[in-house]
Chains A and B, each alone.
Chain A
Amino acid sequence: MLDESTDADPDPAPDSAPPATDGVDEADIAIRLDGLTKRYPGQSAPAVDALDLSIPRGEIVALVGPSGCGKTTTLKMINRLVEPTSGTVWIDGTDARELPAHELRRGIGYVIQQAGLFPHRKVRDNIATVPRLLGWDGDRVRDRVEELSDLLGLERDMLGRYPAALSGGQQQRVGVARALAADPPVLLMDEPYSAVDPIVRARLQDELLDLQKRVRKTIVLVTHDIDEAIKLADRIAILRVGGVLEQVGRPDDLLREPASPFVADFMGDDRGIKRLSLLTVDDVPLRPGPIVAASATPAEARQTMDRTGTDWVGVRDGDRLLGWVAADELNGTATVADAPVKPFRSVIDGGTSLKAALDRIVSSQTRVAVVVDGERYRGMLTVDDLADGIGTAGPMSGSGAR
């Protein structure tokens, strides 16, 4: 059976319709795929096979898998560019077949590879496509286009140009603006960044995350790039060839506990490193570190160092950490503060990724990163802490699906 549950609790969902919702409230499900199957004529194996998947409102869900896994077919069944052979797509509890396909599609944003802008229309008119199909009046369309160009960071003079005069990255931004024009609750994105170079891709990905913070759409993203999925998605659904769902869960869950060798393989053999970039300092416990007050005596400092097995000690003044003193500098001083106190160079905060933290740790003289909250000292991280952290911790540990 497919395991869709994302949390550790056994899912007590009843077997009656509606189908399982993965521990997310029924009301919070924007799209539910229910036994979705697509068979193409002349092909013995289905392209998508009895797929059940719930897509929570306001989340980015990535459909990921090798080519031939049916991820794009699945996406296109949501806006009925592909009609399912059997099964149902529920959008906000309504069968997607209830509306004529073209009306359904006007209510769903759609972004494709290479943007697919209409070459014969200026950027402004490309963005205005769906509002005009919906019959908005001219003033409303114009206001909306300007609002969107601000939202997507498009310069106003770009609005009067034809798409061919834009760079690939700009075209993709316009593609997103066009998809959002009628403010649809759902956005479908089919390999949106695969045609742009890596630097532009990374920037567009950051922009999407930033945009999502403001617009909170339900986004279904198809990609073959697992790193893109890990970076962007709240949840990842891994599909295997033949359109079979292997596992769905939060990126960190998939990295930590891949449900099958296929998922483990797909997530890559550097899953630990990937988790380091996904988790932040706040996700792991900090150690207090070898710390003494500025007024402590060298003897007290040596005691602390003996206890922690270090040859240096941190010097603290109230909430602030002044720096550190090496053991051999403490000879003949009255207090540790009289010895030469060197500042820590690897100072990070709670939002720093563990990958960045690791970098700071290995490049610091004391082999620790100091974690602060503004001026206030919070604790220290060592390589061991990171190893322990990615072994056990995660943003999800102990909490529910959210």
Chain B
Amino acid sequence: MTAPALLAEEFVDWGWIGDNTDTIRELLIEHVWLTAFAVGVGFAIALVLALVSVRWRWLYPPIAGLCGVLYSIPSVALFGLLIPVTGLGFVPAEIALVSYTLLILLRNIVAGLDGVPDAVREAADGMGYEGWRRMLRIDLPLAAPTIIAGLRIATVTTIGLVTVTALVGQGGFGDLINEGLSRQFSTLVVVGSVFSIALAVAFDLGFVALERAVAPWARAGRPPRAGWRERRRG
């Protein structure tokens, strides 16, 4: 075990981590904030777009198409387009990050709403739910697992993308990676990457837990024995 340990010592300066916990904490907060803001705003926009798409079905292809175009623009090219207008900083970073969340979130919200069984919708209408109340109390809760799955992908993707928005000066752990690359200081690259990945994994697990908490009914159909076996396996 000595050789890898020696290698790691050359590659990663462990002492740097100990000396810079404040910096790491600040970058963590920035990274989370950039991600949360992007996913939050992206979700709000995607929800409106999804509701419009579900209500006026013919609008869905053009809306999804537009989100698809945004999703496909290379981020570096997008910054090139944005910086002359917005300058550097939070705004272009978030415009890029939000743009990339839209397609995933829109598709999952629409798929979730489409997945509500017709019989359930009809029963809700027949019981006397008004349109908006049915959406709030029946359709959206039933779509929740699919929507949360979308949030999970969008969040994990965004956490990765935030390292790229370091290019416009807002990068969380991306700043660390950038700096490490330019100073040829591998410790910063490794620390930035590892923390970014750890953050993504943490959020990923968080969303799995959220999905279970929000939709206990989704597992109600399984026989109890299967649940027991599943717990043991997990």
The stretch of B65-73, B90-98, B118-126 in contact with A is: B118-126
Closest chain A residue to B137, Cβ basis: A118
In the bound complex, do residue A117 and residue B123 qualify as a contact, i.e. CB atoms below 8 Å apart?
Answer: yes
Q: How far is the CA of A110 from the CA of B119 in the complex (A)?
A: 12
Tell whether B141 is near chain A: CB-to-CB under 8 Å: yes
Tell whether A116 is near chain B: CB-to-CB under 8 Å: yes
Shortest distance between the CB of B228 and any CB in chain A (Å): 15
The stretch of B53-61, B102-110, B214-222 in contact with A is: B214-222
In the bound complex, do residue A105 and residue B126 qualify as a contact, i.e. CB atoms below 8 Å apart?
Answer: yes
Q: What string of 1s and 0s marks CB contacts (under 8 Å) between B212-234 and chain A? A: 00011110110000000000000
Tell whether A194 is near chain B: CB-to-CB under 8 Å: no
In the bound complex, do residue B221 and residue A105 qualify as a contact, i.e. CB atoms below 8 Å apart?
Answer: no
Interface size class on chain B is 20 to 34
Q: How far is the CA of A119 from the CA of B217 in the complex (A)?
A: 7
Q: Which of A106, A120, A178 contacts B215 (CB 8 A)?
A: A120
Interface residues of B in 33-73 (CB under 8 A from A): none
Q: A102-B130, A106-B127, A110-B127 are in contact. Are A118 and B122 (CB under 8 A)?
A: no
Closest chain A residue to B120, Cβ basis: A116
Tell whether A79 is near chain B: CB-to-CB under 8 Å: yes
Q: A119-B217, A120-B141, A165-B221 are in contact. Are A106 and B128 (CB under 8 A)?
A: yes
Tell whether B169 is near chain A: CB-to-CB under 8 Å: no
Shortest distance between the CB of B134 and any CB in chain A (Å): 9
In the bound complex, do residue A105 and residue B119 qualify as a contact, i.e. CB atoms below 8 Å apart?
Answer: no
Which chain B residues border A79 with CB–CB below 8 Å?
A: 126
* Residues on A facing B (Cβ under 8 Å): 79, 81, 102-107, 110, 112-121, 129-130, 133, 161-165, 175, 178, 188
> Could you show 19 A-B contacts with beta carbons less than 8 Å apart?
A81-B126, A104-B128, A106-B127, A106-B128, A110-B123, A112-B123, A114-B119, A116-B117, A116-B122, A117-B120, A118-B124, A118-B138, A119-B218, A129-B127, A130-B127, A133-B127, A162-B217, A165-B220, A175-B123
The 8 closest A-B pairs by CB, nearest first: A164-B221, A116-B123, A162-B220, A110-B126, A106-B128, A116-B119, A105-B128, A162-B217
